[in-house]
Amino acid sequence: MSGIFISYRRHDSQSAAGRLADFLERSFGREQIFRDVETIEPGVDFVHAIDRAIVSSKVMLVIIGPRWLTIADNDGQRRLLKPNDWIRIETASALKRDLRVIPVLVENATPPADADLPDDIKGLARREAHELSDKRWDYDVQQLVEALERIPGIRRRTPPPTPPLHEHDKPKPPTTFLSKMVKTFAWIGGIFVALIVLGLILNESSTPQPGIHQNIPQNVPALISSGVPVSPCGCWGPAMQGATAPNPRCASGTGVAMLCSGACPAGGSPWQAICR
């Protein structure tokens, strides 16, 4: 089963198509994504596989790079003008079936003009395009994901519940000079209070006092209110936007994962936990 068909030219936008497919699989699952190089199994008829994928799809993403329109064959003829060009066949079939067809522009490509397209895919020029830029890749893909999940038949994958973090797995706040000074004074203050309490105990044991002794109140850390971060942004492992987990430090008892800007070396985006 597939719901999102990704059409692309291998010599024009193969890298961008693969990168986009990886991001979409995180939101919709691999079973809803069709990309021929990964989806068609060995020995399967390519033509029949493409036809079945288009029939079962709800939307086609036509990845358009800088050479999508002008790339030519060995004879110097534009591939898009040839009747047996697979990109033309895929696009024409999707338009004929009245699928939602979204031109996706990558690497600063521009939308094709009506005059530059064969008659059977001229409708592509009238479709609103979506741009994916390298500088805003995460944001642009997230906007595309939100547009796709509004299409009937496209289901957003439900993320698994996030297990509660163990104490040794919780992100540690960065150590600063101010925090070191606060810890030092806290130790000194604790020792000073302990000496005072010890003196009171010794004094009471040597000189009995009438009356009822009151317990010394303990300092109880205040719970963190809603909307306040409980960890800095960092690459703490995979997390979905809005995922919740129990957090005893929050007044509500629950923390929420919020994605931060930037990227992580191993892939994905950094995130931080805030109190709900």
The H or E element containing residue 183 is helix 177-206
When mean pLDDT is compared across 20-24, 140-144, 174-178, 266-270, the lowest value belongs to 174-178
When mean pLDDT is compared across 6-10, 45-49, 130-134, the lowest value belongs to 45-49
Domains of the chain by start residue, with CATH: 4-148 (3.40.50.10140), 161-171+224-276 (no CATH)
pLDDT of residue 264: 80
More confident site: 37 or 52: 52
Gap between the Cα atoms of 91 and 94, Å rounded: 5
Listed in sequence order, the residues at least 6 apart from 205 whose beta carbon sits closer than 8 Å to its beta carbon are none
Q: Which two tokens stand for residue 220?
A: 């109880």
Q: Whole-structure pTM over 0.75, yes or no?
A: no
Q: What is the mean pLDDT of residues 174-200?
A: 63
The CA distances from residue 111 to 27, 39, 52, 108, 130, in Å, are 26, 27, 28, 10, 9
Gap between the Cα atoms of 222 and 173, Å rounded: 17
For the sheet with 59-64, list strands across it: 33-34, 4-7, 59-64, 100-106, 130-132
Q: Report CA 272 to chain centroid distance, whole Å.
A: 13
The amino acid occupying position 126 is: R
What DSSP character marks residue 255? E
The tens digit of pLDDT for each residue in 87-114 reads 999 999 999 999 999 999 999 999 999 9
Gap between the Cα atoms of 201 and 203, Å rounded: 5
